[in-house]
Amino acid sequence: MTSSPAPYAPDLAPLRRLVSDACRVLAARGLADGILGHVSLRIDERSLLVRCRGPEERGLRHTVPADIRLVDLDGGPAAPGELDGGWQPPNELPLHTEVLRTRADVSAVVHAHPPAVVTADLAGLAIRPIIGAFDIPGTRLAAGGIPVYRRGVLIRNRTLAAEMTAALADRPAVLLRGHGLTSTGGSVQEAVLHAVSIDTIARLSLDVVQAGGTLTDLPEEDLAELPDLGPSFHQGTAWRHELARLSDGGATDAPAL
């Protein structure tokens, strides 16, 4: 693969690696098949790192740090050389930038196309707290409600992105009807793990219904009993596990930038 590395800002190398790892985790989890989906990370008020497509695009499973480029909120290069050589931001960059413009609490945005999430939503199954200690962060996420943006469109401009962001409101994630999901977080890890939890609940919901069961929310007393094990466990340990899955064959290992 011919991927010309960015010729500047070596201090961004660890963050490029983080975002590229996140893309590969999404692919390994089946949330972003083929060439669809992207991850971004806010760098400052006017710039973000985001997965871009180069002249030899191979899809999220094969993302390398060189695919992660620094762009401004309008999609232009935020530093010399970033988009040289045929690199292009995703068509749905406004999906990322509008969230970052309106949500100061968000540092990272994930857009993915999980088939189970799309199927469950089209079947009328909301993401509900049907589980308990099976996935405590996912249960709490679902208990707060996951809204739905009801247009199955490519979010390619600020008008559509503003509609999606309005549907998202102050929640960590929003489903996109007939399309996928957008999840957010204070870190790349958190945004990705939110997406993984939503996909898990969607899969379980479909399995329950297919087995002839009825979806029932976790009782309030059980929800209140679930402990907060802290970010070092729910994010730190969980993220190390996701990276270990990549090394075990969950996705092709990416070379260094």
- The residues carrying an active-site annotation are 92
Q: Are 26 and 56 in contact (CB under 8 A)?
A: no
Q: How far is CA 246 from CA 35, 61, 72, 121, 251, in A?
A: 18, 10, 30, 29, 5
Q: Which residues, in sequence order, are bridge partners of residue 88?
A: 53
Tokens matching residue 78: 């935020």
How far apart are the C-alpha atoms of 202 and 11, rounded to whole Å? 38
What is the spatial order of strands in the sheet that 38-42 belongs to?
Answer: 68-72, 47-51, 38-42, 108-112, 180-185, 173-176, 148-149
Residue with tokens 């399309």: 179
